[in-house]
Structure 1
């Protein structure tokens, strides 16, 4: 059971988009940009790493879809996958299904690496895909009732060249753009479900296919690393 929001995303680039992108000097060494909490930089990720994240995410989305029949169950299983087992036993049929189909998600040690590197389902793959094409993801959320976003979103620093390249891919995937109040320097990519945003991540990587010459500007990671060496 994957929740799907009943709205029509708009892939039109907002007229007041600033197309702001950070320079190397804007990149901090230990946190993200944009004054979000509990974030970190994901920059120019190699394509093979991104493909692994997207495929892992796709498999986990399918697992959640098979195991759950309600939004409440979806939240329980998704959180276990993303954050690790907390010690609170899922009850009844759900607990039995997890132990039968995916016991490994209940057996991770506290120091085991999380499958989506501490990101959430549906927005981990998209964050990495945007990074691979040279955009800068700055915050993400798969959507939570009562949370800071009720829909899957990735806030991203994006120049106009990349925004226009992404636009048809958003439209084909059923995703959209918007700008969030008080975060006007970023574009926000949204989707009705984590399946939509995972589909978008796949399309981005497939269309890009390592063609770095598509875009004029890339962050120089060597320059960033040299500042802290």
Structure 2
């Protein structure tokens, strides 16, 4: 099962959006922006990398939908995918299902690379898709009952050109925009479920198609490499 919240996202860009985007001088060498914890920069990711993340994520979402029968089982399996270990003891049903259908999820070593590169299920693909079109994802959460977001969200730094381009795609996917209090410089993209945010990632890559000429401004990664490399 994939949990879905009963609310209608607003696909209109908020009237008070600031459309702030960092410059190269705003990018730190070892952490993210916006004073979030445990984050890092994901900048101008190659489209091939993003497509691989989206494909992996889509398969894992289907796996979670197929193997879990309750919120507790979904949260346990999503935690294994996100972090490489279960947050609590697995039910017999879920443990048997994982060992039968995806035993590799239970056999990871602490230093093994995670399938979504330390991002969470359902928002990893969207974070990478936004990066590929030159936006700057700054924080994400797949939604937790007791977490900092109860719904899937990606906070993103966007200029107006990219925000206007994204708006119909956000609407097509069933996602929406909002602005979070105390983080007004960022737009937040949210969805009723990780299926919606995963669908948006796929739509973004489909519509972008590597056309960098769509947007006037891109962060110059050569500047950052010279500064921090």
- Alignment TM-score, normalising by the size of structure 1: 0.98
Aligned residue for 1:41, secondary structure, equals coil
Partner of 1:63: 63
Contact 1:89–1:95 at 8 Å: present in 2 too?
Answer: no
Deviations 1:142-197 (A, max 9, x none): 00001100000000000000000000000000000000000000000000000000
Q: Partners of 1:86 and 1:181 in 2: how far apart?
A: 32
1-structure distance, mates of 2:182, 2:169:
26
Contact kept, 8 Å, 1:135 with 1:162, in 2: the verdict is yes
What does residue range 16-165 of structure 1 map to in structure 2 within 5 Å? 16-86=16-86, 89-165=89-165
Unaligned runs of 5+ in 2: none
How far is the alpha carbon of 1:78 from its aligned partner? 0.4
Deviation at 1:87, TM superposition (A): 8.7
Deviation, 1:94, is 1.3
Question: How far apart are the structure 1 equivalents of 2:87 and 2:184?
Answer: 40
Aligned pair 1:193/2:226, yes or no? no
- 1:85 is displaced (CA, Å) by 2.2
CA RMSD, aligned part only? 1.0
Query: How far 1:86 moved relative to its partner?
Result: 4.5
**Is 1:179 paired with 2:179?**
yes
Compute the displacement of 1:91 (Å): 2.5
Corresponding residue SS for 1:165:
helix
**Superposed structure 1 runs of 4+ greater than 2 Å apart:** 85-89
- 1: distance between equivalents of 2:187 and 2:195? 20
Aligned residues: 229
- Determine helix, strand or coil for the equivalent of 1:154: strand
Structure 1: where are the runs of 5+ without partners?
Answer: none
Aligned residues of 2:76 and 2:88 also touching (Cα < 8 A): no
Q: 2:21 aligns to what SS in structure 1?
A: coil
Measure how far apart 1:109 and its partner are: 1.0
Task: Provide the rounded CA distance (Å) in 1 between the counterparts of 2:124 and 2:87.
Answer: 24
Equivalence for 2:4: 4
Q: What TM-score, normalized by structure 2, do the two folds share? A: 0.98
Alignment partner, residue 15 of structure 1: 15
Q: Give, in whole Å, the separation in 2 of the partners of 1:211 and 1:86.
A: 40
